[in-house]
Amino acid sequence: MLKLWGRRSSANVQKVLWLIGELDLPHDLIPAGGGFGGLDDPAFRAMNPHGKVPVIADGAVVVWESHAILRYLAATYGENRF
């Protein structure tokens, strides 16, 4: 299952959530950033050395930066719709 680290109040996370919804992908939202913290945890920094949200993990594939995530999701799951 796709995992997304971020918080719903982040505009960049909202973009990713929008596309996840359009693609009807099952996912887990893991609260991170802002008041949730966690961005300095070594495990999070191992996924994204920049320490920012959003970050997704799709199996062994980890992608950060909202536009890179959107491109990855569209290319992987969009079936030429996007």
Q: What range defines the domain where residue 36 resides?
A: 2-77
Average the pLDDT over 49-63 and give the result. Answer: 97
pLDDT of residue 43: 96
The token pair that represents 52 in the structure block: 């920012």
CATH at 61: 3.40.30.10
* Assigned domain for 50 exists: yes
- Is the residue at 25 inside a domain? yes
pLDDT of residue 81: 84
Surface-to-core class of residue 62, CB atoms within 10 Å of its CB (0-12 exposed, 13-18 middle, 19+ buried): middle
pLDDT at 34: 94
Global pTM reads: 0.94
Q: Based on the structure, what is the number of domains in the chain? A: 1
**Run of H or E including 70:** helix 66-77
Q: What is the mean pLDDT of residues 7-31?
A: 97
